[in-house]
Amino acid sequence: MKAIRIHHHGGVEQLRFEETPDPKLHSPDDVIVRLKAAAVNFSDIQVRQGIDGKRSCLPRILGSDGAGVVAAVGGGVKELKVGDAVCLYPQYGCTTCWACRSDQQHFCEQPQRLGEQTDGTYAELVRVCCHNCFLIPAGLSFEEAAAIAVAYLSAWRMLMTDAELKPGESVLIRGIGGGVTTAALQLALSVGAHTIVTADNAEKLSQALRLGAKHGIDERHQDLAPEVRHLTDKRGVDIVVDTNGGENWVKSIAALGRGGRLVTCGASAGAQPPTDLRRIFWHHLKVFGSSLGSRDELRGVLNFLESTATKPIIDKVYPLADAAQAHQRLVQGEHFGKIVLQVDG
């Protein structure tokens, strides 16, 4: 089969479109999926670069997000059949620890993720466990279905499970345009939240306002915390979604009202931001961290998308062979929504 594989960590020149062996069924619970689409995530870039915590055994086929059609099933697979259209939950655990036994693989201390510790979805075929396959909600394309697991599941866990977002609450989403932040905006709007988005790009703010965001703040020209106070009758927001960290983390803390919740799932701008702990306890703030969620939460996401006829926002679709261009677009931050690779074959 054809796949995008890296043999060395490094730049986009390491993404090789090449012939690789077809995956085979290994255990009775295995499924082979013929992929139609694979979404690109920032973690794919970190694996390609080989940053700390993301170094992979090489060669490795990248990609955690995918959707396609079941091509073969192991003898123990009961709930799927050849021809089913599925999207994939990307996480595996050790199968024996307390977390894995309670179907919370995201808490496992020996996690494995598609495209990191096992071969991923930038390929024509992938082998996964049947329990990691979920039927695609009606009305979604393969490209849209491939965009769900990492971004929408992360946003769902942060806003719905952790922060327990309620109708009428105010949510500040920083850096609109990313996969998780656009998913967070769609979820917040569906709940009936009062949404404020930020960007350093006027076009992205306009796109978010067209989707239904109440206010847009251009962080290049406006001071975040005073602007948020002005928009919230001096209270500050109930929830901040911060996926970047770095020096600007302190502004996220400052934008929260008393009893506010900050949710985080990324640190692309820096992993050790300054924090005034007094503000956290004086203002009764809560900080929630997340990296993905459970299979059960993914079921919740899929039910939500189907029942509300919500479609994941797709920025741009590239042929699989052009994965390097897709990575470049993500790194340059030009996107609004998910960047997806289309797999022929």
Rule CB under 5 A: which residues touch Zn ion? 93-94, 97, 100, 108
Whole-number minimum distance, CB 178 to Zn ion, in Å?
Answer: 29
As given in the structure block, the two tokens for residue 164 are 């327990």
Taking phi over 0 as left and psi of -120 to 50 as alpha, with beta for the rest, 255 belongs to alpha
Q: Which of 228, 241, 138, 131 is nearest to 184 (CA)?
A: 241
Whole-number minimum distance, CB 146 to Zn ion, in Å?
Answer: 26
Q: Which CB, 100 or 193, lies closer to Zn ion? A: 100
Whole-number minimum distance, CB 340 to Zn ion, in Å?
Answer: 30
One-letter amino acid at 158 equals M
Whole-number minimum distance, CB 77 to Zn ion, in Å?
Answer: 22
Phi, psi of 250 (to 5 degrees): -60, -30
Whole-number minimum distance, CB 209 to Zn ion, in Å?
Answer: 43
Q: Which CB, 108 or 136, lies closer to Zn ion? A: 108
Whole-number minimum distance, CB 9 to Zn ion, in Å?
Answer: 26
Q: Which CB, 106 or 335, lies closer to Zn ion? A: 106
Residue 332 makes CB contacts below 8 A (sequence gap 6+) with: none
Residue 310 makes CB contacts below 8 A (sequence gap 6+) with: 186, 190, 304
Q: Which of 66, 67, 5, 2 is nearest to 324 (CA)?
A: 5
Tell me the sheet residues that pair with 338: 314
Distance CA 116, CA 55 (A): 8
Q: Which CB, 70 or 100, lies closer to Zn ion? A: 100
Q: Which CB, 86 or 108, lies closer to Zn ion? A: 108
Angle 231-233-236 from CA coordinates, rounded to 5°: 70
Whole-number minimum distance, CB 294 to Zn ion, in Å?
Answer: 13
Q: Which CB, 93 or 245, lies closer to Zn ion? A: 93
Distance CA 173, CA 52 (A): 27
One-letter amino acid at 242 equals D
Q: Which CB, 92 or 304, lies closer to Zn ion? A: 92
